[in-house]
Amino acid sequence: MPQGHIARKRFGQNFLSDANIIARIIEAIAPKREQTIVEIGPGLGAMTRPLLAACGHLHVVEIDRDLIVRLKQDYAEGLLTIHEGDALKFDLSTLPAPLRVVGNLPYNISTPLLFHFAGYAERIRDMTFMLQKEVVDRMVAEPGSEDYGRLSVMLQYRFHMASLFDVPPEAFRPAPKVTSAIVWLQPRPLAECNCLDEALFGRIVTAAFGQRRKTLRNTLREWFSDQDFAELGINPQARGETLAVADFVRLADWQARRAGSTAGS
Ligand code: SAM
């Protein structure tokens, strides 16, 4: 094990050990001195050290107390601001915007982490993460593809995303069972994320993908009749995976307007 630390499975600890891959990630992030950068899960510092060399100061969020002790020993306070605790509960609004968020994320909580950060999209300049390739494929999937689902729609509504490159298991110690990938997310301008009721949008998307084999007529029957679908120009026999993000926004807005007008009458 690198530097005597025993990797903790419950914290999703797979430490990057391939210098070429680390260099490629840092090159993709292209950190600059004046930027506020926060690294999630610095671990043993594989990315932390080269990031610091480029940008001079870094915020890090780490949950493992043993690793925090090491980080405090290894880095001067002025270089590293250590936020001890769970990244899922970390309030990004305590840091100055615009923020750049980076990290080789713990895979066991990657989806909730992505949703947590999406809640701060207005304060974020961009995010560069290492994730399981299977998750990255779902994030960037297009309508009609097998990987397209709730994660694709919810994140594509909020972010432009690109899968940058794959990382093999051998690049880590211990090696994970799966291939990883680097993904880049940039918040879309607020004017483009103008769904009237985002909570309702989320509920409709979740329902549409809840039972993948079922038609929209079935999965969305709580909100839409065949006549509603006809007015919206959406085929009720289609399945959720055929709808574009903009179609889901249209469905949610239509329903929000109707609920609003009913409430008002
Ligand atoms: N960045 C290091 C690297 O690339 O070698 C470590 C990456 S390792 C996949 C994930 C890191 O996230 C570990 O340091 C782990 O302790 C930390 N971590 C796990 N769960 C966390 C959480 N809920 N909040 C903050 N950090 C967490």
> What structural domains and CATH numbers belong to the chain?
2-190 (3.40.50.150), 198-257 (1.10.8.100)
Region 17-42: mean pLDDT is 98
Which residue from 8, 130, 116 is spatially nearest to 64, judged by alpha carbons?
Answer: 8
User: pLDDT of 193-252, one tens digit each?
Assistant: 999 999 999 999 999 999 878 999 999 999 999 999 999 999 999 999 999 999 999 999
- pLDDT for position 265: 39
Rounded to the nearest 5 degrees, what angle is found at the Cα of 169, between the Cα atoms of 164 and 170? Answer: 110
Taking the C-alpha atoms of residue 114 and residue 106, their distance in angstroms, rounded to an integer, is 11
For ligand 1, pick from 15, 29, 60 the residue to mutate: most ligand atoms within 8 Å of CB. Answer: 15
Q: Please indicate whether residue 63, judged by its CB atom, sits closer than 6 Å to ligand 1.
A: yes
Output the CA 85–ligand 1 centroid distance in Å.
Answer: 11
* Long-range contacts formed by 195-198: CB under 8 A, 24+ apart: 195/157, 195/249, 195/252, 195/253, 196/252, 196/253, 196/256, 196/257, 196/260, 197/252, 197/253, 197/255, 197/256, 197/259
User: pLDDT of 44-97, one tens digit each?
Assistant: 999 999 999 999 999 999 999 999 999 999 999 899 999 999 999 999 999 999
Q: Which atom of ligand 1 is the closest one to the Cα of 8?
A: 16
Which residue from 48, 10, 8 is spatially nearest to 31, judged by alpha carbons?
Answer: 48
User: pLDDT of 100-150, one tens digit each?
Assistant: 999 999 999 999 999 999 999 999 999 999 999 999 999 999 999 999 999
Output the CA 6–ligand 1 centroid distance in Å.
Answer: 13
Query: Are the CB atoms for 120 and 145 separated by under 8 Å?
Result: no
For ligand 1, pick from 63, 110, 111, 128 the residue to mutate: most ligand atoms within 8 Å of CB. Answer: 63
Which residue from 16, 39, 19, 64 is spatially nearest to 174, judged by alpha carbons?
Answer: 16
Q: Hey, what amino acid is at 30?
A: A
Nearest Cα residue to atom 5 of ligand 1: 15
- pLDDT for position 4: 82
Region 140-167: mean pLDDT is 97
Query: Are the CB atoms for 79 and 57 separated by under 8 Å?
Result: yes
User: pLDDT of 12-29, one tens digit each?
Assistant: 999 999 999 999 999 999
- pLDDT for position 212: 78
Q: Please indicate whether residue 51, judged by its CB atom, sits closer than 6 Å to ligand 1.
A: no
